[in-house]
Amino acid sequence: MRKCDQCHEALQEQDYAVHKEFLDKNGICPKKKLKRKPLKQSCPECGEGLVDGEQMPAHLAQAHSGVNPRFQCSECEFKLITLQGCRKHYRMVHRGAPLTCVLCKETFSKEFMFHQHLASFHTEALGPPTNPPLPVHCKFCDASFPVYMEMIIHARYSHLVQTIDITSTQLEEVTMIGGHVVEFGEDGSQIVALHTIP
């Protein structure tokens, strides 16, 4: 039997070895709770980290005052200034929402599976992988990447998006699969477009 120096519990030799390994690795006894640092929230518009206790609406009002937020999250109705900012908000806050492939409308619960799907089933649209060390080029722009999956993720966020102009459409006629961003006109009173979340 051996005794832990921190919690003073008497342990069998093999249990003590596991206990001690955890203690050496983490700097704390496994019987004591590890305190995790709270995640620092950042603004999806400017990327600035929020100070402790600051709320996103207060930051937006102060740092981005005078700009009319035209883009609204379909899940929580939170409004932001840019389409990119609203998409970032959606991906950060609504992680459990299904991911929808704009190429075939199949849905996924995990990003990894979605990226594997794009790489496996949509090589015609996105381009085939190359053998390392050759760079992988995006078919939609001039960007190049050292790894095929990096290009897939780039294409997803930058190019595989759909926008439906609904300025002359009745809302009952529009069907969106998965989450989306609602875009309002300049005056903020009329919906002018719906954008997919890549």
Kindly state the average pLDDT of the residues 98-127: 89
- Give tens-digit pLDDT for 154-177: 888 778 877 777 776 655 555 555
Report the predicted TM-score, pTM, of the whole model to 2 decimal places.
0.54
**More confident position, 145 or 57:** 145
Kindly state the average pLDDT of the residues 25-38: 62
Residue 13: pLDDT over 70 = yes
DSSP track, 146-175: SSHHHHHHHHHHHTS--EEE-TTS-GGG--
CA 170, CA 73: separation in Å to the nearest integer?
Answer: 20
- Mean pLDDT for all residues in the chain: 80
Query: Is-contact 179 197, C-beta < 8 A?
Result: yes
Within 8 A by CB and 6+ apart from 180, the residues are 74, 194, 195, 196, 197
Enumerate long-range contacts of 45-49, CB under 8 Å, 24 or more apart.
45/80, 45/81, 45/82, 45/85
